[in-house]
Structure 1
């Protein structure tokens, strides 16, 4: 059988992004594909790996905040010079759609990670008066993209934004067979964990307040980078010993930090771009046998209630979060039982090992359409 090749391109995501690098690219390599992975390695202070069979890493400029022109120019030049040698191009940022017009390319796939228009309305680097017009422009680009490129959707709820059916590749996780039980004392404390990017809209301020109010012997550990005002907030809290902030960790190391935790937090605010999506961190918590505390966004609330593996608290609450955590700390067997329920549910419904063949098959089918 002919070996397929794909150019995977992002100018925004961290090169070690779990969905891009550790699930999709790993699945393609396992299936025998050749993968050119163009990502902002130097923009994140990383050296591209040289020892992964089948993987050809390429450095491209990083897009951040309002500084995106150079990244788009670099992406377009890469597509012009390198895409033709591949069966498929897989884009992971919506702005990369602007780099494709007029180029002779193999089939192009846009992996739709989020509700982009809703996300634009809360981007701090976009001036307030421009956010709504920018969101409307994004909707127009999405409609145009549906006619020009193939789409993969990261959530079944995204199908409502498009006119035609498209393959869905959910943000599921790799689930260990036997996770470490929850509520294990480590270095003299029970750890409550948060995994992911930190912003005010993602509950950074509430987490600091929760950390200050936790009972003796319970401590909050925050894993992931911070953006905007959340950076200073977490930095000050960590400097004063209120919580432990580890910053960005490679994906495999980050998920291992979840093992044995008392609970995982996901205190997202009631924002339009959060409502239709599954917060992958919640699936990660449950998959590692850790019960979750979440706010009542529809999808994550439904997951916690279906699995019976956590608690739902009001938006922007702190007292309720502390009460839940204190209760589990006082009765760690309850936390362990909740964690076991979560693991069983996620292993059955949200395990990447069950879905990765569908992903590879979808790309293979699109590649077969030709130019």
Structure 2
């Protein structure tokens, strides 16, 4: 099977796209053409794929990227058995003559609008019905896979769920240490960036440092640079997922301080599973799914929502309690690792993901005619 995979929004080293899905397709013997912003992200494509470079869609500047993607998808679709896209923007760039197409729905785009600081308020109010209309049109014309079970309620029909699992080491990682916190992911105000900067200042006198691993929204970059110059934290910027997870090993705790916003409420933050997979205790705000996962196996601490000061105070208290109790944090890390290994290991669902794409590639036609799609186990 020849698969054309496309994104203009995500990094070419995105963990879900490249290190899980494309890796699984290649391991199964399939050929992959990957349309992605390689030059923009300073990434050298793997020799295992056929790469097509496009501009990246950033902020309000997306027209050029969509136009380039339209041309790239025409090229990629010529000899493909299936197209797999990862951005809602690419719904506007699909060629009319094409093989069966699949949209991997990563997020609730309409619910995420309040977190997009680059969007003017009138656009935030006007876009939700437009986005819902695009989703409904896509459901009628192509296949969908969903990253979260909760996304089902947005659509009229059933679609396979391919959750954001991770690769879990075969043997337990080193136990948690006592002087370093870690955060992996996009740094944004809605994701607790301000809280983490203040937390780093609060914990510096206690000899605890904070490692922030991930790209940052434009409005928080100056704050991060100032904090790094002060020596209160280390901000590494974007790091490929497999290397970021190695960096997390041995940390006292992993942070997930998402705010109480619609886009986050019914999602399981992937970083929570990733921390657990590396034996790192989790400190998370009480989003339903994150709190349920962490609380059910006692793999970390749940702190309440609140303003910046109250969140920082609660997290600092939780961190110091963990620092002073090596046995407790070691047990939390071990329980999290066991849970991740047995219930959140990507290879356990990779085969069914590939098999689902193979079925769609072999049976072109309207997805509405096949309403009982296979659901990948969560």
When normalised by structure 1's length, the TM-score is: 0.95
Q: Secondary structure at the match of 1:170?
A: coil
How many angstroms does 1:35 deviate by? 0.4
Q: Quick one: distance in 2 between partners of 1:191 and 1:355? A: 33
Counterpart of 1:191 in structure 2 is: 180
How many angstroms does 1:258 deviate by? 0.9
1:248 is aligned, of 238, 244, 248, to 238
Answering whether residue 277 of structure 2 is matched by residue 284 of structure 1, we say no
Q: How does 1:202-213 map to 2 (within 5 A)?
A: 202-213=191-202
Q: Does the CA contact (< 8 Å) of 1:179 and 1:259 recur in 2?
A: no
Structure 1 residue runs without a partner (length 5+): none
Cα-to-partner distance string for 1:301-324 (whole Å, 9 max, x where unaligned): 111112210111012411110111
Q: Quick one: distance in 2 between partners of 1:129 and 1:82? A: 36
1:23 is aligned, of 9, 15, 20, to 20
Cα-to-partner distance string for 1:276-311 (whole Å, 9 max, x where unaligned): 211100100001111100001111111111221011
Q: Quick one: distance in 1 between partners of 2:31 and 2:100? A: 16
Counterpart of 2:44 in structure 1 is: 47
How many angstroms does 1:143 deviate by? 0.9
2:262 is aligned, of 260, 272, 293, to 272
Counterpart of 1:334 in structure 2 is: 328
Structure 2 residue runs without a partner (length 5+): 366-378
Q: Secondary structure at the match of 1:211?
A: helix
Counterpart of 2:318 in structure 1 is: 324
Counterpart of 1:178 in structure 2 is: 171
CA RMSD of aligned residues (A): 1.2
Counterpart of 1:108 in structure 2 is: 101
Q: How does 1:352-371 map to 2 (within 5 A)?
A: 352-370=346-364
Q: Quick one: distance in 2 between partners of 1:345 and 1:144? A: 38
Counterpart of 2:158 in structure 1 is: 165
Q: Does the CA contact (< 8 Å) of 1:181 and 1:339 recur in 2?
A: no
Q: How does 1:92-103 map to 2 (within 5 A)?
A: 92-100=86-94, 103=96
Answering whether residue 139 of structure 2 is matched by residue 146 of structure 1, we say yes
Counterpart of 1:308 in structure 2 is: 298
When normalised by structure 2's length, the TM-score is: 0.93
How many angstroms does 1:177 deviate by? 1.7
How many angstroms does 1:210 deviate by? 0.9
The structure 1 segments of at least 4 consecutive aligned residues displaced by more than 6 Å after TM superposition are none
Q: Quick one: distance in 2 between partners of 1:140 and 1:122? A: 21
Q: Quick one: distance in 1 between partners of 2:297 and 2:154? A: 28
Cα-to-partner distance string for 1:238-284 (whole Å, 9 max, x where unaligned): 11101111111122111100111110000000111111211100100
Q: Secondary structure at the match of 1:193?
A: strand
Q: Quick one: distance in 2 between partners of 1:131 and 1:70? A: 22
Q: Does the CA contact (< 8 Å) of 1:222 and 1:243 recur in 2?
A: yes
How many angstroms does 1:193 deviate by? 0.2
How many angstroms does 1:209 deviate by? 1.2
* Alignment: residue pair count: 360
Q: Quick one: distance in 2 between partners of 1:98 and 1:224? A: 29
Q: Quick one: distance in 2 between partners of 1:64 and 1:326? A: 39
Answering whether residue 149 of structure 2 is matched by residue 156 of structure 1, we say yes
Q: Secondary structure at the match of 1:318?
A: helix
2:68 is aligned, of 70, 74, 81, to 74
Q: Does the CA contact (< 8 Å) of 1:221 and 1:245 recur in 2?
A: yes
How many angstroms does 1:358 deviate by? 1.2
Cα-to-partner distance string for 1:40-76 (whole Å, 9 max, x where unaligned): 00011223233x3xx1122111111111111111111
Q: Does the CA contact (< 8 Å) of 2:176 and 2:249 recur in 1?
A: no
Answering whether residue 113 of structure 2 is matched by residue 123 of structure 1, we say no
Q: Does the CA contact (< 8 Å) of 1:194 and 1:266 recur in 2?
A: yes
Q: Secondary structure at the match of 1:257?
A: helix
Counterpart of 1:35 in structure 2 is: 32
1:60 is aligned, of 34, 37, 54, to 54
Q: Secondary structure at the match of 2:182?
A: strand
